[in-house]
Structure 1
Amino acid sequence: MVLTRDWKSTLVKSDRTIEDAVRSLDSSKLKIVLVVDEQNILLGTITDGDIRRGLLKGCRLDNLVHSIMKSSPSVVQRSMPIHLILEKMAIEKILQIPLVNEEGKVQGLFVRNQDAIDVVKRPNSMVIMAGGFGRRLMPHTENCPKPMLTVNGKPILEHILIKAKQEGFLHFYISVHYLSHIIERYFGDGESFGVKIQYLRESSPLGTAGALGLIEGGIQADLVITNGDILADISYGRIVDFHSEHKSDATMAIRTYELTSPYGVVKSNDMRIIDIEEKPTFRLDINAGVYVLSPGVFKSIKKNHAMDMPTFFQEMIQESMKVLAYPLHEEWMDIGRSDDLIIANKKYELNDS
């Protein structure tokens, strides 16, 4: 445990928005936001889980932070011995705890050394969908499958695999079709990456859900599926835990997409204009291309039967299965066009500098 020097980067004023809290979480890397007033008196704390729960309840990123903050957080004072602080954090299962004075003013932040916490090997397998043609990325994909296009010197597929491995995922299925030999030659059986890889070879395109029918022997634990062209800061472990805790049959990661009209929108009733909104912004929840499925749903997937994942989710909804949304606030990119590839390389280059 350390009393971090960077604690001031976690401070967010109470008149700021949830979006400001997200930016603070991303920039400080301390995984907590301390909400304070003008005198830096602690009013509450915000973690990744608080943001996710707020989004699920309908909060928007432009809502104020008080709508999601934990208003009675655990705190410690300098008079408390270190061993008691550690014991308190262990009992409450928290990684960070604010240090405050008698008036409640923030004086620092204790953080448990996360590097010393062993990564738990997960029983879950992950499927990475890598069989698409990537037509919108031509000519880049003329001789290279889209998931093998490089971002900061590594294939997109490798970024996904390594991130999942760091969270304890060690068994992967990769669905392949277009230029599959390039993927298989690069990754092999996964031994050189410290994981196990099996290939789902599509003789013809089967779609995101249809490819799962090629898994032999079924699955014994919740399965994570991701598109092979997604770069995101998403924690695959957290979405699996969310899926499990809520006893979901199927979970889809969703992302808020904002679309601003370039025109003023006129609302009318018959011939009478009742309102004019200048260049309004519409917010839509979109499919982020990451899913978790429980073992029980696989009986619905037929072998060699083409089906995309949205269609499969629609079928499960119609069958009254428990289908949940997992809102993302993290950085997320769908590498679908040449411009996306350029932006991704610039972002990764900045993050490494």
Structure 2
Amino acid sequence: MHAVILAGGKGTRLLPYTTVLPKPLVPIGDNHSILDIILCQLAGAGFTSATLAINHLGRLIRAFAGDGSRWGITIDYAEENSPLSTVGPLFGLRDRLPETFLVMNGDVLTDLNYADLLTTHQRSGAPLTVATSPRTTHIEFGVLTLENRRVVGFTEKPAFTYRVSMGVYGMSRDTLQPYALGQALGFDRLILDLIDRRLFPATYDFGGFWLDIGRPDDYDVANRDFAKLQDLLLPEPVRTLVEAR
């Protein structure tokens, strides 16, 4: 099983931390970075190889991750010469990728079962499978329902729950074929393009723990609560397996 980790962003939302560190290397707790946790989880889930797509401060990511032997995963790199968004780096990897693979942002903190997501994608026959998590938005106003300029309903400060993308995907190599090498493309545009072509992506609905560390609020929560979260994110079997390797 192979994973592509998107680790090339500038992490502007996490400034000033990302002035000196790429976002995947910002510390979580006392002993880990986000990338360290992700690679531990992938190794524990049975992944044997990963490609790190790097750009901003990529030399630091290379120095940290090396060839992946620390985690028992073979790591190679794809370095962008210009910003290619989140899907664009994959176009130059087409000949190096297996038929199906995992793609994920390098700032995701979750206990999602990556292997099950990839297996589910393989079985779905879809061009793309999007891992989703529920998020609730609270409206801080009274919301009116209108008909013909009359108020026919009123809800005080309602809450709406949506399914949002977690930044983790199962993908098929054939999905990349229509796009040109060097084209900048994000997952938002890819999903809309697939919908327009009636090649509808599948979803992998997840109800467990998930934080987007690119958001300062989520990063603060991760550091504040990491002592409680460590056994969830890095359960003993995962730590033992990685240490044994």
Q: Is TM (by shorter chain) over 0.5?
A: yes
Q: Secondary structure at the match of 1:193?
A: coil
1:147 aligns with 2:35: no
2:26 counterpart letter in structure 1: L
8 Å Cα contact 2:94/2:176 also seen in 1: no
In structure 2, what is the Cα distance between the partners aligned to 1:195 and 1:336?
25
Aligned equivalents of 2:124 and 2:230: distance in 1?
A: 36
TM alignment of 1:233-244, pairs within 5 A: 233-244=111-122
TM-score (norm 1): 0.62
Q: Secondary structure at the match of 1:305?
A: coil
1:135 and 2:20 correspond: no
Cα deviation 1:69-113 (Å, max 9, x = unaligned): xxxxxxxxxxxxxxxxxxxxxxxxxxxxxxxxxxxxxxxxxxxxx
1:1-353 alignment runs, 5 A limit: 124-152=1-29, 153-215=31-93, 217-352=95-230
TM-score (norm 2): 0.89
**Percent of paired sites with the same residue:** 29
Q: Please say if residues 222 and 295 of structure 1, whose CA atoms lie closer than 8 Å, have aligned partners that are also in contact.
A: yes
| Unaligned ranges ≥5, structure 1 | 1-123
In 1, Cα distance between equivalents of 2:134 and 2:96:
33
User: What does the per-residue CA deviation read over 1:175-220, in whole Å, with 9 as the maximum and x for residues that have no partner?
Assistant: 0000001000011111222110010100111111100012162423
Task: Give the aligned residue type for 1:215.
Answer: L
Q: CA RMSD in A?
A: 1.5
- Is the contact made by 2:100 and 2:172 (CA closer than 8 Å) also made in structure 1? yes
Change (3 A) 1:201 1:352: closer
Deviation at 1:263, TM superposition (A): 1.5
Runs of 4+ in 1 over 4 A off after TM superposition: none
How many Å apart are 1:323 and its aligned residue? 1.4
Q: Which stretches in structure 2 are left out of the alignment for 5+ residues?
A: 232-245
Q: Tell me if structure 2 keeps the 8 A contact 1:209–1:301.
A: no
The secondary structure found in structure 2 opposite 1:126 is strand
> Higher Cα Rg: structure 1 or 2?
1
With a CA cutoff of 8 Å and minimum separation of 6, indicate the structure with the bigger relative contact order. 2
